[in-house]
Amino acid sequence: MVYREVISLMTSGYGDMTDLTHQVENVIGRSGIKNGIVNIFNVGSTACIGTIEYEPGLVKDLPEQLSKIFPSGRHYAHEQTWHDGNGHSHLQATLVGSGITVPVENGRLVLGTWQQVFHLECDIKRRDREIVVTVIGE
């Protein structure tokens, strides 16, 4: 059995993080699927999805520390073609990953108490985002 919904999100620009956990659990609830997996996938190449303890400290730390790995303003070849100033956004998003797959049990996400599903905007401007949530199971 396959059930899908799209979560729409407007982000405010670089470093804007969103806790998707409750919205994903609502999708699972509406799916009627009790047991299986859920894939949560960001459409587009400059934002990423993962799990984290969603608390104010890490919400600040994650984008800040990703910018130490791939800083903006470094001389990326991407800039030479596109001049859009977001070479680092692409690289950060690819490194963290565009989606994750999480187990579903009794109609709920299997996560730790301090583990949430996040979306992180890596692009440098406001973006309208679509996150595709696909529940597979029985």
Of residues 4, 22, 30, 108, which one binds a second copy by CB under 8 A?
4
> Which range, of 10-18, 20-28, 102-110, touches a second copy by CB under 8 A?
102-110
Q: CA nearest 89: which of 55, 127, 133?
A: 127
Residue 44 CA to residue 29 CA, distance in Å, equals 26
115: exposed, middle or buried (C-beta count within 10 Å: 0-12, 13-18, 19+)? middle
Q: For 32-86, where are the alpha helices, taking DSSP H only?
A: 56-69, 77-82
Of residues 90, 119, 122, 123, which one binds a second copy by CB under 8 A?
90
Of residues 21, 31, 36, 122, which one binds a second copy by CB under 8 A?
36
From the CB of 25, what's the least distance to a second copy, in Å? Answer: 16
Q: Are 130 and 22 in contact (CB under 8 A)?
A: no
Residue 19 CA to residue 68 CA, distance in Å, equals 23
User: Is 85 a binder of a second copy (CB under 8 A)?
Assistant: no
What is the binding site for a second copy (CB under 8 A)?
A: 1-2, 4, 35-37, 39, 41, 43-45, 50-53, 55-58, 60-62, 64-65, 69-70, 76-82, 87, 90-91, 94-103, 105, 110-112, 114-115, 132, 134, 136-138
